[in-house]
Amino acid sequence: MARELDVIVIGWGKGGKTLAGTLARAGWRVAIVEQSEKMYGGTCINIACVPTKILIHDAEQHRGNGADADYFNTAVERRDELTAKMRQKNFSMLDDLDSVLVLTGRASFTGAHSIKVEGGDEVVELSATKIIINTGATPSIPPIKGAEVGGRIHDSTTLQHAELPKKLTVIGGGYVGLEFASMFAQFGSKVSVLDRGARPLKREDEDVAGEVVSALSDAGATIISSASVTALSQDSAGVTVSYELDGQERRLQADAALLALGRSPATQSLKLENTAVQLGDNGEIRVDKYLATHAEGIFALGDVIGGAQFTYTSLDDHRILKDQFLGEGKRNLEDRVGVPNTIFTTPPLARVGLSEEQARAQGLDIKVATKKVADIAAMPRPKIVGDPRGIIKFVADRKTDQILGAALMHVDSQEVINLVAVAMRAGISSSTLRDSIFTHPSSTEALNDVLGSFE
């Protein structure tokens, strides 16, 4: 007979674990299921945001010193130590609550309000009036001959524990691909990026994307645009990537290859056919603006619903469901305005809102302010830390002076972008932000200068 609960959370990602703890402290009977003990806490702290940024930080300290396998291995050890501590802390945060049942195993639906959890030789049956799907996403594997993770062919998870390659081929010029290209180039690998687009970061304005490419070139990475990968093969000596460029078949040989072509919602093992849950064209779980699926009592949040796959949007998903279950039920996805993001190249590129190209495509009457970081006299911090590269670009409404978007590529941009996002959400004009008082020396004070240069 199934054990009855108030809510079951499948997956230990940011939104799910936070919601589970919140509901448990409110007196609900909660079960949280994670398929692997190595993933307590979710993707972010175990294989994505936190561990990769540890490696990126250590790579930046090594920049220009050539390939050093021992240095790389030490960085990986530091990565593993920190993620292990965070994983244990995340586990304890829920396991220590009396009203939370923590289960490790693979969950699948057996009915509209019931699941089974298979872990080892044990099968546990659970039922609840509310079930939350929080299973995240996994690296996408393209339908390319030989594109299978194993040996010298990696995804973004396995490459973190590979031997430091002397030569690395990155397939995909998106956010993940460029982050890893920047990281490994600074660790001393000779990196080549095969990007099928006409230029990297096609959603960014050309001048902004150009700064990222320039920084990657400085680190020693080469980007090959308009390259269509046709096959991969490997042997004991290395991996060969075949691709078409300008109508000709070409090859790249390396010690390792990274498949960095996005992530796909993880729903395959859930047996959703036993429910009324519907999937979208990309395998994402379809939800309404309150995160409810087509099945009564079943909700989904985080990466599994598609769209922007960020830890902080998953956390905000938890706020929507918290309001549904414990509040007024008004908060929804349409409330989100000015959600920032960052690609952690060196220096990082952070952005929010519309680019200049996007704003003009919408027919908006805009004004634009752009400056190279090296030319901003009132921004000494990048020069102090030895990296004055980058660009700052703002787009604002010409009549209202409201900020429509910004792209910041410079030291500390991942922090400054949050201030810009808050200003957009609060309706603070670019002039007010320009005339604000900021500490010195800081990267934030660049806003005093750049926001005074609209054309």
113 is catalytic: no
Q: Which of 62, 161, 294, 440 is catalytic?
A: 440
Strands 30-34 and 3-10: parallel
Q: Name 205's Cβ contacts closer than 8 Å, sequence gap at least 6.
A: 355, 356, 357, 393, 407
Dump the DSSP string for 352-376.
Answer: EE--HHHHHHTT--EEEEEEEGGG-
CB atoms within 10 A of CB 421: 21
Instruction: Please name the residue that has the structure tokens 């006409």.
Output: 198
| Pair 330, 40: CB distance under 8 Å | no
CA–CA gap between residue 309 and residue 322 (Å, rounded): 20
Burial tier of 297 (Cβ tally within 10 Å: 0-12, 13-18, 19+): middle
b (16+ CB within 10 A) / e for 222-260: ebbbebebeebebeeebbbbbbeeeeeeeebebbbbbbb
Residue 390: name the closest of 407, 415, 406, 378 by CA.
407
User: Could you list the active site residues?
Assistant: 440
